[in-house]
Chain A
Amino acid sequence: MNDAKENPLLSRPGEVGLVQYSDFEYERPFTFEDGQTIPRFRLRYETYGRLNAKRNNAILICHALSGDHHCAGVYSIRDRKPGWWNNMIGPGKPIDTNRFFVICSNCLGGCQGSTGPQSINPETGKRYNLDFPFITIGDMVRAQRLLIDHLEIPGLYAVVGGSMGGMQVLQWAIQYPDFVRCIIPLATTSRQGAQSIAFNEVGRQAIIRDPEWKAGNYDPDAGPRVGLSIARMMAHITYLSDKGMERKFGRRRRDSGDINFSFDVDFEVERYLRYQGQTFINRFDANTYLYFTRALDYFDLPETYGSLEEAFRDIQARVLVVGFTSDWLFPPEQNKEIVQALLRQRKQATYAEVPMDFGHDSFLVDAPNLYRLMVAFLWEK
């Protein structure tokens, strides 16, 4: 009991507090855009707040590449690390659980409880591994829609997400135009550009060239740990910014010591990246990393629909796109293009740009400016 008092994530007002995940089992075949079918799938998800009597206060959160369904609250009184968007979601927070019913699911193809490459293929009794169909952003969204239908929610008040989540958000409004009242894509793009594909390819090569990858058929307890951690280290750099890293690490030495004349960790930034790589391999599946980065690479709304304007033709949702000045992975320009095309289609679209030094990850950190924009948009009558 004392633990609960000591853990501010439980005792502090305005926290979601203790949460549990649920599993949605879809027992029918699901066909992917690549033409392949799996006999059934599971999506792991969490919800916070209450669905109102009219069932019209649901907000779906879409997670990014390395995220999952656990976006707010803690699992136990000893849990010191809350869900990945705990600063954004909770009673009185920008996505206010006193008002909204918040849902977040682990994407199809994921590795945090949803069906993905590491799941057992019921038809063979073995792991799918690379037999898992190629997954697209559209597939992720169709699977989420089945979950929302299962929850008997007749329409979503909002769909919100950044990065790969932002792609899903756009896809939601395009694919189900009369189902979504408003959307907030953050730090995202309508079309994965060459630079982002290039970074993803380096990450994939690090995994694939790790001998432990074994053509995707690695033992779940082993696997390409070196490759995956290198992929994560490199990707993590793309989520930060020059300025942000300089401020956070500068040239600070580990243990404030002198230069060691070695290739071991000398600098704090090295220690940080290695730590990021190490923690990632304990929670993320290498094959899911391959599949998700491919889903990002294949995301190209102009190509899929003929043009970005054509993609947005039927959108009915109000849109707020937010870009971040220091994001060089999905820079402001790419976020602006979304709004420009929406406006050319005479849609209700707003573009806001938040000046922050945290790079692409800006949307995840404590940002009062972003909160103000989100609150204004979500509370607008």
Chain B
Amino acid sequence: MEKLPDKRTVDMRIISDWIEPDSSILDLGCGRGVLLEYLIKTKSVFGVGVDWNMDKISSCIKRGVPAYQGDLTEMMKTFPDKFFDRVICSRTVQELSNPAAVLLEALRLADSVAVGFVNYGYWKNRLHHLISGSHIPNEVNTYEWYEGPPTHPISISQFEAFCDRHRIRVTRRVYLRGDWETPCEHLHNLLCGYALFELTK
């Protein structure tokens, strides 16, 4: 598998460009707080992350990133409408038990929601599935099938259809090739390995 720059920083590189200095950010599934730490340092945002895993919260604390351990749906309910400037849902959406409800709730909390995910429509993923008939490993979903949380495979065309159905406007699209680095110009659902969307309602 090709391993160009650090694939882990793909959302950091793209999403941080979208973010206004001093804005307020909620990071759904913040993990160890790497993205928020970067945004706090480079854009002096007010940021808070949410994750269910205590070890990850511990890492956030070490980084000086405010974080909330718990269920993200329950946590989001505690904020008033448009409390944040932006909600980030980076590599989280595929693991949500109710992605539609979470994304709609995110659009209640902020005018702008950034979503990044691995495109399962990418030709290598299709091929992998065709040949092995099994779970597709990647940098986001590193678990074996028996270790990790349930995962929804999402393709770009499915995601676009979802946005249409819920009258969610897509204000930005970034398609990256299989290296998660080079822009992907055509046939996105087939040639794009990683996609980022900016949504608004």
Residue on B with the closest CB to A336? B70
At the interface with chain A, which of B61-69, B112-120, B156-164, B180-188? B61-69
Report if A320 contacts B (CB, 8 A): yes
Partner of B80, one of A320, A344, A350, A381: A344
Partner of A373, one of B58, B66, B75: B58
Partner of A343, one of B48, B59, B63, B69: B48
Enumerate chain A residues within 8 angstroms of B67, measured Cβ to Cβ.
350-352
**B66 and A353 form a contact (CB under 8 A):** no
Residue on B with the closest CB to A354? B54
Report if B24 contacts A (CB, 8 A): yes
Enumerate chain B residues within 8 angstroms of A377, measured Cβ to Cβ.
61
CA distance A355 to B52 in the complex (A): 12
Partner of A352, one of B24, B61, B79, B83: B61
| Given contact pairs A344-B83, A352-B69, A369 touches B61 in the complex (Cβ within 8 A) | no
Q: How far is the CB of B3 from chain A (nearest CB, A)?
A: 30
CA distance A238 to B66 in the complex (A): 31
Q: For chain B, which range describes its interface: under 10, 10 to 19, 20 to 34, or 35 or more residues?
A: 20 to 34
CA distance A66 to B75 in the complex (A): 34
Enumerate chain B residues within 8 angstroms of A372, measured Cβ to Cβ.
58
| Given contact pairs A340-B78, A381-B64, A355 touches B54 in the complex (Cβ within 8 A) | yes
Q: For chain A, which range describes its interface: under 10, 10 to 19, 20 to 34, or 35 or more residues?
A: 20 to 34
Report if A346 contacts B (CB, 8 A): yes
**B62 and A353 form a contact (CB under 8 A):** no
Partner of B70, one of A320, A351, A376: A351
CA distance A348 to B63 in the complex (A): 12
Report if B123 contacts A (CB, 8 A): no
Partner of A353, one of B70, B78, B79: B70
CA distance A380 to B67 in the complex (A): 14
| Given contact pairs A336-B70, A343-B48, A343-B68, A350 touches B61 in the complex (Cβ within 8 A) | yes
| Given contact pairs A344-B78, A344-B80, A353-B54, A380 touches B70 in the complex (Cβ within 8 A) | no
CA distance A376 to B60 in the complex (A): 9
**A373 and B61 form a contact (CB under 8 A):** yes
**A351 and B69 form a contact (CB under 8 A):** yes
| Given contact pairs A340-B78, A343-B48, A377-B61, A352 touches B54 in the complex (Cβ within 8 A) | yes
Return the 3 tightest CB-CB contacts between A and B, nearest first.
Answer: A376-B61, A340-B78, A376-B62
Complex A-B: 23 CB contacts under 8 Å: A320-B61, A339-B68, A340-B75, A340-B78, A343-B66, A343-B78, A344-B79, A344-B80, A346-B24, A350-B67, A351-B57, A351-B67, A351-B70, A352-B54, A352-B57, A352-B58, A352-B61, A352-B67, A352-B69, A353-B69, A376-B59, A376-B62, A380-B62
* B interface with A by C-beta (< 8 Å): 24, 46, 48, 54, 57-64, 66-70, 75, 78-80, 83
Known pairs A343-B66, A373-B58, A380-B62 / 20 extra A-B pairs, C-beta < 8 Å:
A320-B61, A336-B68, A339-B68, A340-B75, A344-B83, A348-B66, A349-B66, A350-B67, A350-B68, A352-B58, A352-B61, A353-B70, A369-B54, A373-B57, A373-B61, A376-B58, A376-B59, A376-B62, A380-B61, A381-B64
